[in-house]
Structure 1
Amino acid sequence: MAVTKLWSVTERLGQVIDYATNPEKTSAKIKREFSPEQYQALADVIAYAKDEEKTEREFYVEGINCNVAIARDQFITVKEQYQKTDGIQAYHGYLSFKETDISPEMAQKIGMEFANEVWGKRFQVVVTTHLNTKHLHCHFVINSISFVDGKHLWGEEKAWFKFRKVADRICEKYGLYYDPNPNRSKQSDYLTMKEKAGMPTRYSVAKEAIDYAIDHSKTLKEFQFALKEMGYAYNLSPSRKYWTVIPKGYDKPIRLKNLGADYTNDRIVERIKENRDRWAEIEPFQRATYKPRQYRMQTRGQKLKKKGGLYGLYLYYCYRLGYLPKYKKQNNARLHYLLKDDLMKLDKITDEVRLLGRENISTDEQLFSYKTSLEEQMKNLIAGRTHLRKKIRTNIDDGQLQTAKDEIASINGELKKLRREVKLCEDIAERSKVMEENLEHTQAELPRTSMTFCRATQQEQCLQTQSLSLC
């Protein structure tokens, strides 16, 4: 399919028409320099080419319901006739072709056919073909006011994404490339690259949460309850065309249908209904905690929590994020919403943990003492570098000059490392307080969540017992 786009023009109507009909872009002979006599002849050719009565053209410029030579004046005349001269003046769009061997005549023909079908019945349009790039492309300048009834270009007349079928049909007619199944995903290339690299994103985390909630629900009410317990706001109204969820800490909703074909409204309902037949095989949404008969073994998290200090705090936080131990795969859907944002900062957190372990730092005093020592080293290195720079300005031989430059380069490398260490110390001082607050909040909410799911599990067990007794 040809690449297409449309945008509004609120001012400088003449400028956009001049751009679309620019001889440097629409001429078949672009890279030539002319003398004053040749330029006058070229001006005559331009006037000849823009005349709608002519058919042989060196410039690919045509008008629909208007004369290109006076298109601006004709646009304004229509606006004045209907007293609609303010606001959007025109719409500017383009149609670009993938093929590089298409002729200018064919591109202009397709552009004219496309513009006639989409706007030709009610609007004035200037159609040009630009030849100054690798891929030929048509430009369209459309008057914002219809010469037929004085109404604005509105609705589907400017919904450019709906013109895809028209462009596909015309390209297919002339044997040009088009994509019958284009990818209309709104996800940015940046997020797509992060997902391919295995890094968590707002959408991948939401998808895991939706999957987990669906797998542990057999009714839509239970699905909503599971989303709420994981910190998600939702709008699952039956009258709503697209269901949405909002992760806690975010304002912008996510349309579930954008997550994939398995996340449309109908498909989610189907997946929940499928759970009813296999409900006995599904584990509880959150495992009930049973009191052991003899003793309880310490978990890795409890051991890390007892370590104490900044280093212990970081290790325990990494454990809560699911990256300690590494062999255990973390379910991001069950991760507390306060911790989810830190999944995207794991590289920084890892560097900070390594610094604390390498320097054996456990307290704030040790951290600030280490930072002070780094700043003293930086101060001494900067003084040495200043001395070398002064030495270079004096009359010294080439050997001494090269030696001084090498020493300066070495000092710059050391300063770069020290500055990075200082920045890590500052980040540790700031992040450690946030970590403590997040852990306190998650610990305070844990008992309420556990009791809620334990009660749901007990009710399910009671229902199963009653069913067995009836049998």
Structure 2
Amino acid sequence: MAATKLIALHHIKTKSVAECLKRCIDYVRDSRKTEDEKYVSTYGCDPNTILGEFLLSRRTYEDNVRKPHKNDVIAYQIRQAFKPGEITPEQANEIGYELAMRFTKGKHAFIVTTHTDKHHIHNHVIFNSVSIDGKSRFRNFYFSGLALGRLSDMLCLENDLSVIRSRYEERMNTKNEKRSRHHISDSSLSFLVDIEKKMQEGKGKGYENWARKFNLKQRAKVLLFLEEHGIASYEELVKKTDAMETEIDALNEKIKARNERMAKNKELQNAIITYSRTAEVYTDYRKSGYSKRYLAEHETEIRAHQDARKIFNRVSGGKIPKLKELRAEYGELIAANRPDFQQYVQMRKEKKDYLVARKNLELLLTEKEAEEREKVKAKPNRSSRSEASL
């Protein structure tokens, strides 16, 4: 169960855009809330340079499209809170990442942080109001908050989490308890109605008729799905879902591998910038004969220079790469990841449809086997006919 909210972050006149963004990002990245930033993930940007990359996209938009207007929205925040005890921080962060990706369609850079400081685990997502390429802005359409909630509910169902029933549904149940209404249960894959169980609970003839019609509709949906996808047997359906799982895992590994390369790339970029900025100070330090006094006066710059050199030794074998080449590679990795992630999201959705069909088919087969057993029991055998003749 996840409660979601979409918040527009406006530019405050008394502060710069950079200050407004930094304030929001620093809050969601608070190490006390994210367990030393253990549960932080990003898309289209690096956690260490997110502010600069947000501003760069914004500057590109202002230079090529139009200047900002009054009460400009500089970013958007998504808050997603989960039911206590129902989810782990790792899973919550993954769901928050996928929610942001689906909502922004992969066009906007964002950061996802999962806070564990309260009794309920919750996500904060900050995504740039300007697209990554700086050519467009996010359109906050009517009922966008409702659309966000629907996406969140879909993700909860896909991950076997409960969803929140609307207040309208609660009022209808209170006003008319005798009226049967169908709600989404905690399990996203069980759609067939257990008629006998409901009849034992005191449901009337009308419910029985409705439930039988509902089951027939579900059977029709399953058969139509199998026909549309060219599946002739249950075994073939199982084979297909297992194959999809393998393909999704392989695609996910490709995306993770690129993300790791992007992280190393960004680390090298930052190291190059730091190394260049502190080179003069470190040269003077060497000329001073590694003077302790000089070290004490410029310790921050000298340590930063040495740390940058360690990064070169660890990541690039001691070689200092060219910043231009790293930036070009980083852009290529982002461009390669975007279609793969969109395909990953699409395959996850298709997999859910196949799993729904598989579960319903299993229920139908179980029901059919039960009916056949009842027919065998009801069929008179030879001994019963002999006793009847006597």
| TM bucket normalised to smaller | 0.3 to 0.5
Bigger RCO (CA 8 Å, 6+ sep): 2
Task: Give TM-score, length-normalised by structure 1.
Answer: 0.31
Higher-Rg structure is: 1
